[in-house]
Structure 1
Amino acid sequence: MASMKLVQLFRRYLSIVATLFQTLISCFFNFPILIKIADSVLSLYFLIFCDLRPVTVDLDDGETTVHFWISGHRKISRPNLVMLHGYGGNSKWQFVHQVSHLSKSFNLFIPDLVFFGKSYSKNPDRSVEIQARSVVGGLKKLGCDGGKISIYSISYGGFVAYKMAEMWPEMVEKLVIVSSGVGFTQQQKTTEMKKHGGDCCSEILVPRNPMDLRRLINISMNTGLKFVDWVPDFVLSQFVTVMYEKNRQELLELAKNLLEREEEPQLSVITQKTLIVWGDKDKVFPLEHAYRLQRHLQSSRLEIIKEIGHAVNIEAPTTLNNLITSFVLSA
C-alpha cells in the first residue's frame, strides 16, 4: 500500500516536472528570449566599449518620440556625425560593426528612425520628410541647433539624409550616402522589387517569417551572413518578432510611401560635399544608379567596393569606416 502511494506520488511529481519543462521549452522557442538577450548585450557593448548612452527625446509636436544613442563624452575637437540606418532592424543591429571605430573620431548621434526601435509617432504622415523633421527636431533638442553636422546614411536612411541636406543646408555640412536609391522613379523602384519575387513592399522589406527574412538577407548580401541558412527557424522567428511585429503596420506604410510615391521630375541638387559608396554586387539598387547619382551631384565622389552587396555596413565595415573617417575629417 505504501509502495503504491509512493509510486503515485512519484508519477505526480514527474508529471509536474514534465509540464514545467515543456513550458520552459515552449517559452524558449516561442518567446523571443534569445534576441532580447542579444539586444541587451548590444546595449552593453554600446555603453561600455563605445562610450555611447541612450537618450529619448520628446519633440515639440507633442506626437513624436525619437530614441538616440549619443556619445557620452562629446569633444569640441571632434565633428558631429549623424548615422541613419536602413530597413533591416534598428540602429544597434545595423551599426554594431561601426560604432567602436567611428566613436574614436566623432561625436556620434545615432537615432532610431520613427517606427524603428524605440522611436514612435502618432503623426499619420509616413513620408521621408517626417523622418527628416523628426531627426532634426531631436538633434536640436540635443544641442545641435547651432553647429554643423555630417551625415552617414545607408539605404532607406539615404533618402532621409538627402532630404535633411535639402531642407537644412545651413546645418548639414557633408553627406555620405551608401547604397541608397535616392532619385529612383516609382517605376524603377517597382521593377527592382519584382526582380526578387516581391509584388508588394511587405514581401521584401517587412518579413513575416523565417523564409521572408532569409530572402531579405540573401538579396542584401553578397559574401556576408551565408551562415543564415544554418540558423534555426525559431531564432529567425524571434528576430522577426522583435524587429518587425510591434510597428508592423506603420513599417508597411512607410515602405509603401517610399516605393509607390513618384519622385519629383527632377531630383533637387544639394550643394554639400557628398561621398557615395556602393558595393559592385548590389542587387537592391544596382551600381548604375551610383554613377547616375554621382553625375547629378557635382560636389560628389564615388567609391566602389568590389565583391560587396547592398549591406556594405555589414560586409565591409572596416573599409566603409575608413572612407567615412577620411572624407568627413578632410579639410
Structure 2
Amino acid sequence: MTWQFQVGSLAKKYSVYIPDLLFFGGYGGMVAFKIVEEYPEMVRAMVVSGSILAMTDTLSESNLNRIGFKSSADLLLPTSVKGLKTLFALAVHKPMWFPNRLFTDYLKVMITNRNERAELLEGLVISNKDVTIPRFQKKIHVLWGESDQIFNLEMAKNMKEQLGENATMDIIKKAGHLAHLERPCVYNRRLKKFLTSVYSEN
C-alpha cells in the first residue's frame, strides 16, 4: 500500500513485479534478497530500502530493545489504535495527523491473519551461528531514510559494508523508514537515477 507512488511512476517505463511475503502482501526487501541469491540470472541490479539482509536473534533483540518492544509482532501487528499510532510515529521522520477512524479502519482491513503473521515474523529470526552473507555479484543500491528508527542508519551502513564493493548508498534527509512515502519525489529521482545508470551500462 505504501509503494503506490513508486509503482505508478515506474510502470510508465518498466514492467513492475511486486514480490509477496505470505500474509503481508507486497513486502519485498528480504524476499528480494532471496531472489537475488537464488536466481541471480533473473536480476540485473537491486535497490533496497528499509530492509536488512537477515534478522538474527542478536540483532532482533537489540533492535527491539532500542525502540521499546518485546517482539516483532508487538511492533508490526498492533491491536489498538494507540499501538498503530506508535508504529506509524516510528516509521516516519515527522509525524502526520490522521483521524482515529482511519487508524481503526486500517486495523480492521490490513492487520489480518494475525497468528500466521506472528509465526512468520518469528520464523524470519535466525540464529547468529546460521548466518552467511551471500557473495552478491549484482549492483545493490541502498536507498535509506536518514531518520529511520526501525532499522536505523547505522544498520544500513553496516549492511552496505557487508554487501561488498558492488554496493552503493544514498541517504534521504528528512525521511524515516517510509522514505518512499514521505518524500516520494526525492525517492523516485534517486531510484530512477540508479536504474538509468544500470541500463546505460548495457
Closer, same or farther: CA 188–113 of 1 in aligned 2, 3 Å: closer
Distance of 1:184 and 1:115 partners within structure 2: 18
What TM-score do you get using the length of structure 2 for normalisation? 0.88
Partner residue, 1:293:
159
**Runs of 4+ that moved beyond 3 A:** 263-266
Matched residue type, 1:311: L
Partner residue, 1:160:
31
Higher RCO, 1 or 2 (CA under 8 Å, sep at least 6)?
A: 2
* 1:185 aligned to which of 52, 56, 65: 56
Residue 323 in 1 paired to residue 190 in 2? yes
Distance of 2:55 and 2:185 partners within structure 1: 28
Partner residue, 1:269:
135
Cα drift, residue 242 of structure 1: 0.6
Query: Could you give the per-residue CA deviations for residues 152-210 of structure 1, whole angstroms, max 9, x where no partner exists?
Result: xxxx6221111110000111111111121224532111211122221122210111111
Partner residue, 1:171:
42
Partner residue, 2:104:
237
Contact 2:139 2:167 (C-alpha < 8 Å) held by counterparts: yes
Matched residue type, 2:96: K
Query: Could you give the per-residue CA deviations for residues 9-36 of structure 1, whole angstroms, max 9, x where no partner exists?
Result: xxxxxxxxxxxxxxxxxxxxxxxxxxxx
Cα drift, residue 299 of structure 1: 0.6
Q: Percent identity?
A: 29
What TM-score do you get using the length of structure 1 for normalisation? 0.56
Contact 2:92 2:178 (C-alpha < 8 Å) held by counterparts: yes
Matched residue type, 2:66: K
Q: Give the length in aligned residue pairs.
A: 196
- After superposing the two structures, state which structure 1 stretch, 301-310 or 102-111, moved more: 102-111
- Report 1:76-155 matches (<5 A): 93-117=1-25
Partner residue, 1:201:
72
Cα drift, residue 241 of structure 1: 1.1
Closer, same or farther: CA 181–111 of 1 in aligned 2, 3 Å: closer
Partner residue, 1:307:
174
Cα drift, residue 111 of structure 1: 4.3
Partner residue, 1:226:
96
Distance of 1:315 and 1:235 partners within structure 2: 18
Cα drift, residue 307 of structure 1: 2.0
Closer, same or farther: CA 106–254 of 1 in aligned 2, 3 Å: same
Cα drift, residue 329 of structure 1: 2.6
Query: Could you give the per-residue CA deviations for residues 131-160 of structure 1, whole angstroms, max 9, x where no partner exists?
Result: xxxxxxxxxxxxxxxxxxxxxxxxx62211
Contact 1:193 1:201 (C-alpha < 8 Å) held by counterparts: yes
Aligned partner of residue 187 in structure 2, secondary structure: helix
Distance of 1:161 and 1:168 partners within structure 2: 10
Matched residue type, 2:154: E
Distance of 1:158 and 1:111 partners within structure 2: 9
Distance of 2:18 and 2:73 partners within structure 1: 26
Contact 2:19 2:31 (C-alpha < 8 Å) held by counterparts: no
Distance of 1:256 and 1:294 partners within structure 2: 25
Cα drift, residue 113 of structure 1: 2.8
Contact 2:19 2:32 (C-alpha < 8 Å) held by counterparts: no
Gaps of 5+ in 2: none
Contact 1:179 1:278 (C-alpha < 8 Å) held by counterparts: yes
Distance of 1:284 and 1:300 partners within structure 2: 21
Contact 1:221 1:310 (C-alpha < 8 Å) held by counterparts: yes
Contact 1:98 1:318 (C-alpha < 8 Å) held by counterparts: no
Query: How well do the aligned residues superpose, as a CA RMSD in angstroms?
Result: 1.9
Distance of 2:12 and 2:34 partners within structure 1: 27
Cα drift, residue 239 of structure 1: 0.8
Partner residue, 1:58:
none
Matched residue type, 1:278: W
